Amino acid sequence: MVGRRVDAVLEDGWAAVAGDLAGAYGNFSLHQDVATLARIYPPDTAARLRAAKRRYDPENVLAGNHNIVP
């Protein structure tokens, strides 16, 4: 219950400044969806991370927060 209230407060805070931000900082992101990943990682960086993931973790064992799918 407390966690949801904290998340709501954080969401409201980020929404208030979202128009002034050029991207996202992964450690402060509450969501782990594709749109959030696109804000965290520029296209070239995301491509390099996917290539590394395909090579070193093709089974997606390391699939914690902000998972890069191989």
Contact 64/32 with Cβ under 8 angstroms? no
Digit-coded pLDDT (tens) for 27-43: 666 667 788 788 888 89
For the chain, give every domain's residue range.
22-70
Separation of alpha carbons 14 and 8, rounded Å? 10
The three-state secondary structure class of 66 is coil
Mean pLDDT of successive 10-residue segments in the chain (70 residues)?
74 72 64 79 92 96 84
